[in-house]
A and B are shown apart, each in its own frame.
Chain A
Amino acid sequence: MTADVTAKDRDDRRARLEALQTLFVRLLFCDETLERFRTEPAALAADFGLAPEALDDLPDPDGKQMRAERHGRKMGVLSELRRNFPNTYPLLEQAPGFTFERFLSSDAFFDPDCALPHPHGVGQGYENSSKFFFWARAALGLDRPGAHAQLRLMLCGDFASYLIGQYEREGFDWYRRFSSGVYWRETPGADLPLMYMTVERHFFRYTLPEQQAELQRMGAADLDALTPQPRQRRENIR
C-alpha cells in the first residue's frame, strides 16, 4: 500500500514537472501563451494540468530579463530560418496569413516528430528548418491546388538546396537520398510540369512524362512525398 502511494506520488510529481517544463518552454517562444499567463493564469495553469500555485515557479512574464530572453531565443530561430530559406523568407513576410509568431506558437515547432533526422545522426528535432518547411507547406496551403505559385517555388527550392547541402556536407547516411537532386510538382495535384534541382543547384522545368521517368530512374528525391520521419523510440536515460 505504501509502495503504491509512493509510486503514485512519484508519477504525480513527474507529471507536474513535465507540465511545468512544457509551460515554461512555451512561454519563452509563444506569444499566445505569454498573453494568457498575464491575463488568465489560473485557466492557463489548468490547461496544463497544474494548480495555480505551480506558476510561482515561473519568472515574471513582464520582467526585463524575460523580455530579453524571449527576444534572443526568437531571433535565434529566425536567424536559422532566414539562413536556410533566403529566397522564401522575404516573400513570406508579405504573405497573407503568415507571421513568424504563428510558427513559434504552433505545435509543430515544439514537436520533434514534425522534423527530419539531424545530419549529425542524433535523430529528429535538433534543427528548426525541416519543421518550418513542413509547417509552412501545410499551414499556407502550398501542398494543395491553388497554392501561391511563387511562394511554393521558393519554399521548395530553398529546402531542396538545404537538403542537398546536408548530403554534400556528408550528413549521416539518411541524406544520401538527395544525392541525385530533388524534384517537386509545379502545381500540387498535377504530375507535370516538374521542377528539378540538381546537386550542382542547376534548375530545370520538365514537362514530358519521359523526363519524369528519367528522374525516378536516376533516384532523384520527390519533395512532395517527403514527410517528417518516424522516430525509433528508445527509453531515455534518467
Chain B
Amino acid sequence: MAVMLGARWDDPSQNARFAEARRRGLLDYAEVNYPIPWKADPAALGLPVLAHTSSNPTCSVHGINPDVAELVRDGARAADSPWIGEHLTWLGSADTGSLGYQINPLFTEDFCEIAAENIAALKQFYGRPVALELGPVYTGATKYESEMHFLADVAIAADTPIILDVTHWQIANRNLDRPPEYGLDALPEDRIIELHIAGMRQGSDGFWHDAHQLSPADEIFDMVEAFARRLPALRAVTFEHHGSAPEADFYAGLERLRRFIPANDG
C-alpha cells in the first residue's frame, strides 16, 4: 500500500499554509492533534484526517480522563481516521490534567502492564486502532532495557501499531549517549505504521530537544527516506512544523519528503 505524506495540524492559524501545500500537491492528509481549539473544524482543510493526541496519559496508573478521550474519539469518528496516534506518557501525578510537556513514565514492567491495560481499554472506547509513539527521552530507563523495548512490549501486549518519531528517537539516543541506530532492533518493524519527522535543537547544557519551529536535520531526512523505502507496514509520514515557523520552510520540508513519497491520487 502506498505511503502518504502529511503534516501536523494544531489550529486554524495553519489553514492558509495547508491550503497552499495542498495546492502544490504536497499533502495527502492532515494529522490533527486533538483536542483542538473549541469550534475549530479540520474538515475545512479539505484533506483526509489522521487523528493524533498527546493529551492522554496512557501510562498513568490513574487511567485516562474520559472528557479528553471523548473529544479525540469524536474527532476521529467525524474524520473516519484509520487509526489514532497516542503517546506513551504521563501528564502529571493526578487523575486528570497536565503539568506541561509530556512526562515519560518510569520505564518498568509495572508501568508497561499499566500502559497495556490502558491502551486496550482505550482501543475499545475508540472503536478503532491506536498507534503508539514515544516522546523524547532525557532520563534513561531504570528497570527496562530501554524505552524502545518498553514501546515494543506495550505494542505487542496491546496489539497495536507503532509510530516511530524519528526525531524523538534520535534525541533520546543523543541525550542518553547511545549510537544513532540504538533501539531500532527492539521494535517489530512490521508494526511501524507511521513516521514523524521534525526539527531538533541542542540546549546550552548539551541536551537535545524537539523543535517544531526548526527544519529537520539532513540526517533525519535521510533516515526517514531509508525507512520509507523499506518498512513493510508503513502507511504515513507526518511532518511536524509549527504554525509560527517560516512558511517557506514548511513547503521546503514537504517538498524534500515528496521526492521519495509520491503523491497519492486517491
Contacts and interface: CB of A to CB of B under 8 A. Distances in A.
Interface in A119-151: 119-128
**Size class of B's contact patch?**
35 or more
Contacts of B60: 21
Interface string B65-85: 111110100000000000000
A236 to B, nearest CB: 3
A76 interface: yes
A235 B121 CA distance: 13
B139 A69 contact: yes
A224 B118 CA distance: 40
A65 B98 contact: no
A98 interface: no
A157 interface: no
B143 interface: yes
B184 interface: no
Contacts of B118: 237-238
A50 to B, nearest CB: 13
Nearest to B95: A236
Interface string B88-112: 0010111111111101011010110
Interface string B20-59: 0000000000000001111100000000000000010000
A234 B35 CA distance: 18
Interface in B111-162: 111, 114, 117-118, 121-122, 125, 138-140, 142-143
Given A58-B106, A120-B35, A170-B39, A17 B61 contact: yes
A110 B66 contact: no
B142 A56 contact: yes
A235 B66 contact: yes
A72 interface: yes
B67 A59 contact: no
A171 B108 CA distance: 38
A121 B140 CA distance: 34
A13 B39 CA distance: 41
A13 B110 contact: yes
A14 interface: yes
Interface in A39-95: 56-59, 63, 65-69, 71-73, 76-77, 80
Contacts of B62: 18, 21, 236, 238
A25 B90 contact: yes
Name which of A119, A126, A169 has the most chain B CB atoms within 10 A of its CB. Answer: A126
A35 interface: no
B175 A68 contact: yes
Nearest to B175: A65
A123 B69 CA distance: 12
A130 to B, nearest CB: 11
Name which of B35, B100, B114 has the most chain A CB atoms within 10 A of its CB. Answer: B100
A20 B117 CA distance: 18
B92 A110 contact: yes
Contacts of A26: 93
B168 to A, nearest CB: 14
B37 A120 contact: yes
Nearest to B124: A237
A29 interface: yes
Interface stretch (B202-210, B226-234, B239-247, B248-256): B202-210
B4 to A, nearest CB: 27
A28 B103 contact: yes
A187 B110 CA distance: 53
A199 B246 CA distance: 31
Given A63-B139, A119-B38, A234-B67, A73 B94 contact: no
Given A120-B38, A121-B38, 8 more contacts: A13-B110, A14-B61, A59-B142, A66-B139, A68-B203, A73-B100, A76-B100, A125-B97
